[in-house]
């Protein structure tokens, strides 16, 4: 059979020796692709401070696979385990937050691409009164919450994952940024109880009063991201904030396939139009053919509020406990 194949190749003017050589080179190339490139491209170790629920991890995996151009298996690791991952995951890809200590990575690893997550308000399209093409400002959001509560007194229209320190940090950061843009002072909370809900000068006061008005479900105080997503998916809330891949923004098909019939909105605080953004940077070994891309992990888009890993972790360590206690007790 082999002689027959080679004889057929010889009819094109190729010698038997040349045909065998080309066949050997082809087999060698296929072996290299199988042994080196495939595992390096499919195993991705992820280290991040976020709560990656199964649903969020699946959205990230799908977005990452589209961008990478092949299926990827993401292996979630604790942030504090980065040093061990960097040591034990030789030859695999590493996905870490921009701002994390990348000096722990192997010497030959370079940044090759990035993937962004944004913190967005997810709104169910099933709710009455939601505009299909306009954003909500703070006053419109509160007005809509109150109307939804009036229509269904036994239902809370809004749910959050307030037991998550990352969520508290997001609210604090975004609230301060939006207040500055709106010209609202956040330096003093004196007389806050007399201000309209959407003009409160502090995120914790705002959330506390939303709970007091029965607009925000009080069980939000005990909820993590997974529970908040489950409540929303069960149609027990019209609004929830959560992390989604940035490429979902403006893409109805991706939203429908991964989140159902929803709209993604900037969090309706004051006149906010920005999304907090967290950048995940992919590192791969030069030995597997990866080339470094300049500035691949440096955010530049003014439509987002880029999170600072070190500043966020410092806030979480020093302030999150007091903020959480104030949210429960109302001690402002």
> CATH number of the domain that 66 lies in?
3.40.190
Higher-pLDDT residue of 186 and 11 is 186
| Residue 14 predicted with pLDDT over 60 | no
Strand partners, 283: 94, 111
Question: Does the residue 97 lie in any domain?
Answer: yes
Mark whether 153 and 283 lie in a shared domain. no
Mark whether 76 and 104 lie in a shared domain. yes
pLDDT category of residue 34 using cuts at 50, 70 and 90: very low
Mark whether 76 and 96 lie in a shared domain. yes
| Cα–Cα distance for residue pair 271/242, rounded to 1 Å | 19
Mark whether 111 and 170 lie in a shared domain. no
Mark whether 82 and 218 lie in a shared domain. no
Rounded to 5°, the CA angle 26-30-33 comes to: 140
> CATH number of the domain that 199 lies in?
3.40.190.10
Mark whether 136 and 262 lie in a shared domain. yes
Question: Does the residue 263 lie in any domain?
Answer: yes
pLDDT category of residue 320 using cuts at 50, 70 and 90: very high
Mark whether 90 and 238 lie in a shared domain. no
- Using alpha carbons, select from 61, 104, 60, 64 the residue that is nearest to residue 81: 104
Higher-pLDDT residue of 155 and 79 is 155
What is the per-residue pLDDT for 152? 95
Q: How far is CA 285 from CA 91, 94, 249, 329, in A?
A: 6, 9, 31, 50
When the pLDDT of each residue in the chain is averaged and rounded to a whole number, the result is 83
Largest Cα–Cα separation, the chain: 94
Strand partners, 275: 304
Long-range CB pairs of 186-189, under 8 A, 24+ apart, other chains included: 189/332
Q: Supply 178's token pair.
A: 């939006």
Could you identify the residue written with the tokens 């990575």? Answer: 105
Q: What is the extent of the structural domain holding 171?
A: 118-276+312-329
Q: Tens of pLDDT along 99-128?
A: 988 877 888 888 888 899 999 999 999 998
Number of domains in the chain: 2
Residue 150 CB partners (closer than 8 Å, separation 6+): none
Residue 12 CB partners (closer than 8 Å, separation 6+): none
Q: How far is CA 117 from CA 33, 255, 279, 284, in A?
A: 31, 14, 6, 20
Can you tell me the mean pLDDT for 6-22?
49
Mark whether 245 and 290 lie in a shared domain. no
Mark whether 122 and 190 lie in a shared domain. yes
What size, in residues, is the chain? 332
Q: Tens of pLDDT along 280-310?
A: 998 888 877 777 776 777 777 888 999 999 9
Q: Tens of pLDDT along 187-226?
A: 555 556 667 898 888 999 999 999 999 999 999 999 999 9
CB atoms within 10 A of CB 152: 11
Find how far residue 206's CA is from the centre of its chain.
24
Can you tell me the mean pLDDT for 11-35?
48
Q: What is the chain's alpha carbon radius of gyration, rounded to the nearest angstrom?
A: 25
Query: pTM value?
Result: 0.82
Q: What is the dihedral of CA 51, 52, 56, 58, to 10 degrees?
A: 180
Find out whether 282 and 96 touch, Cβ atoms under 8 Å: no
Mark whether 200 and 247 lie in a shared domain. yes
pLDDT category of residue 83 using cuts at 50, 70 and 90: confident
Mark whether 53 and 74 lie in a shared domain. yes
Question: Does the residue 11 lie in any domain?
Answer: no
| Cα–Cα distance for residue pair 250/120, rounded to 1 Å | 12
What is the per-residue pLDDT for 214? 97
Find out whether 122 and 244 touch, Cβ atoms under 8 Å: yes
What is the per-residue pLDDT for 12? 45
Find out whether 239 and 123 touch, Cβ atoms under 8 Å: yes
């Amino acid at each position: 059979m082999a002689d027959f194949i080679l004889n057929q190749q010889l009819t094109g003017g190729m010698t038997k020796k040349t045909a065998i050589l080309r066949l050997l080179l082809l087999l060698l190339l296929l072996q290299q692709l199988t042994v080196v490139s495939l595992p390096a491209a499919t195993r991705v170790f992820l280290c991040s401070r976020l709560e990656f629920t199964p649903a969020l991890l699946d959205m990230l995996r799908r977005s990452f696979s589209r961008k990478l151009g092949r299926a990827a298996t993401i292996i979630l690791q604790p942030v504090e385990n980065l040093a061990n991952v960097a040591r034990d995951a030789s030859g695999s890809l590493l996905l870490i937050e921009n701002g994390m200590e990348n000096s722990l990575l192997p010497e030959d690893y370079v940044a090759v691409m990035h993937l962004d997550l944004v913190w967005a308000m997810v709104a169910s399209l099933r709710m009455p009164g939601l505009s299909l093409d306009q954003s909500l400002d703070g006053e419109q959001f509160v007005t809509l919450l109150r109307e939804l509560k009036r229509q269904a007194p036994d239902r809370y229209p809004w749910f959050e994952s307030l037991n998550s320190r990352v969520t508290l940090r997001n609210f604090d950061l975004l609230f301060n940024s939006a207040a500055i843009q709106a010209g609202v002072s956040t330096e003093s909370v004196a007389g806050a109880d007399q201000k309209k809900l959407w003009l409160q000068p502090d995120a914790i006061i705002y959330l506390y009063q939303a709970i007091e008005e029965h607009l925000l479900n009080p069980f939000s105080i005990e909820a993590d991201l997974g529970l908040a997503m489950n409540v929303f998916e069960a149609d027990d809330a019209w609004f929830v904030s959560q992390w989604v891949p940035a490429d979902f923004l403006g893409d109805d098909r991706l939203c429908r396939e991964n989140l159902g019939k929803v709209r993604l909105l900037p969090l309706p605080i004051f006149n906010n139009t920005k999304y907090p953004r967290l950048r995940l940077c992919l590192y791969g070994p030069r030995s597997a053919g990866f080339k470094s891309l300049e500035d691949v992990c440096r955010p530049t888009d003014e439509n987002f509020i880029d999170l600072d890993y070190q500043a966020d972790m410092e806030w979480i360590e020093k302030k999150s406990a007091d903020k959480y206690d104030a949210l429960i007790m109302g001690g402002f």
